[in-house]
Chain A
Amino acid sequence: GAGVSQTPSNKVTEKGKYVELRCDPISGHTALYWYRQSLGQGPEFLIYFQGTGAADDSGLPNDRFFAVRPEGSVSTLKIQRTERGDSAVYLCASSLMAGEQFFGPGTRLTVL
């Protein structure tokens, strides 16, 4: 079946601009996670949703980052006033409750 999909696969933007990254989880998965992976590092947790609500947003680095999941399926990660340090691969994962997390291919964000 279809796995986790993320769009766009690549995003190049200029410092100060606003970006939105989209995640389509596996159908029926109740939990959805966002991670950020810098070059040569392991993924770092940002936020996860159980249904429509953010169950844990402790990994969001500052208030420029925000994520929504209004209908409990698709999620959007929003970054305001982007900075060069935001450049990374943003990974989305989904799972059934406490089960295995399945990862998407990621969105590579480059802030010039």
Chain B
Amino acid sequence: GENVEQHPSTLSVQEGDSAVIKCTYSDSASNYFPWYKQELGKGPQLIIDIRSNVGEKKDQRIAVTLNKTAKHFSLHITETQPEDSAVYFCAATSPGYSSASKIIFGSGTRLSIRP
């Protein structure tokens, strides 16, 4: 089955600097890669996603890249702000056109933004 590896496990950056989180996946059938942000006491919340037919996607300060050949994908946060502090999870899944699918999560990165 699918296995998703994520690193680093913790990351501390100065406010205003960039943060990068990297993940790898094992199953070439995975075609959808969501990223989640989880704050203390809450469930994960989708912040951005990318499909396997796209190499890069950007939404304001957040961008994701995907290298299908190498089975690597990354999250980039620019101009970090204190409210970016949280745990971030990468994930992989393979939903069909009309069928749902389980999500396989990475182990998470605890991001801390230093003022």
Contacts and interface: CB of A to CB of B under 8 A. Distances in A.
B59 to A, nearest CB: 14
Interface string B68-95: 0000000000000000000001010001
Contacts of B53: none
Interface in A35-75: 35, 40-45, 48, 50, 55-56, 58-59
Chain B: interface residue count, which band?
20 to 34
Chain A: interface residue count, which band?
20 to 34
Interface string B26-68: 0000000010100001111110010000000000000000000
A18 to B, nearest CB: 25
Contacts of B107: 40-42
Contacts of B96: 98
A112 interface: no
B103 interface: yes
Given A41-B107, A42-B108, A97 B44 contact: no
Interface of B: 4, 6, 34, 36, 41-46, 49, 89, 91, 95-108
17 contacts: A30-B100, A31-B100, A35-B103, A40-B108, A42-B6, A44-B105, A45-B102, A48-B100, A56-B102, A59-B102, A97-B98, A97-B100, A98-B100, A103-B43, A103-B45, A105-B42, A106-B43
Interface of A: 4, 30-31, 33, 35, 40-45, 48, 50, 55-56, 58-59, 91, 93, 95, 97-98, 100-106
